Amino acid sequence: MQRTLVLVRHGQSEWNLKNLFTGWRDVGLTDKGREEARAAGGMLKARGLKFDIAFTSALTRAQKTCEIILDVLGQGGLRTVRDQALNERDYGDLSGLNKDDARKKWGEEQVHIWRRSYDVQPPAGESLRDTGARVWPYYLHEMQPYVLGGKTMLVAAHGNSLRALIMALDGLSPDEVVKLELGTGVPIVYQLNADSSVASKEVLEG
C-alpha cells in the first residue's frame, strides 16, 4: 500500500521579496513564486504522482501554490481542505516590519532569538513550539488518517508550520528543528509505514 505525503512550502511571496515578517498577513505570490509552484508541479508530474486530497492553510500564498501545482498535474478539481491550523507562525508585532528595521529597533541578538529559537515568542506572537501545538493535533486527527488509509496527500503550507510537522515526522529535537531550512516551492516526498513512522523521505530539487 502506498502511503504518500508530499509537503511543499509556498512559492516566494511579495513580502518574502521585500524582506518583511509576514506571519498571518495575507499576501500574494510574486511571479517567481508562481513559477516555483509550477516547477514543483512539474517535478511531481515527472514522478507520476497523483493526489487523492490536498490540505493547505487559510492564507492565499499557500492556497495559490496548491492550486498551481494541482493545475500542472491536471487535478484542478481535487478536494482541497483549507484550515488556519496550517497557517504560518504568527509573528505578532513583527508582522509587516522589514527584518533590518526590526534589528535596528530591538537589536540583532533579540531578533535572532525571536526568529530562530524554539520556544521564545516575539511580542504578541507565536513561538515555533506554539505553531506546533496547533499543527500536530490537526495532522494527527485530520490528515494522517488519509495517508495511513493509503491515500496520496499534498500539503501546501508555510516554512514554520511545515517545520513543526517535519519535526514530528523526523523526530527532530528543538535544537535540530530551528536549524532546518525549507526552500520555497521545493517538494518533500514522504512514504509512511503502517505505524505512521517514516519509511523514506526525498527532497525534490530541480
- The residues that are catalytic are 10, 88
DSSP string computed for 143-185: IHHHHHTT-EEEEEE-HHHHHHHHHHHHT--HHHHTT----TT
Q: Which of 158, 173, 157 is nearest to 118 (CA)?
A: 173
Closest to 166 measured CA to CA, from 185, 145, 182: 182
Q: Using alpha carbons only, what angle is made at residue 122 by residues 142 and 134, rounded to the nearest 5 degrees?
A: 10
Which residues touch 5 (CB under 8 Å, ≥6 apart)? 147, 153, 155, 169, 189, 190, 191, 192
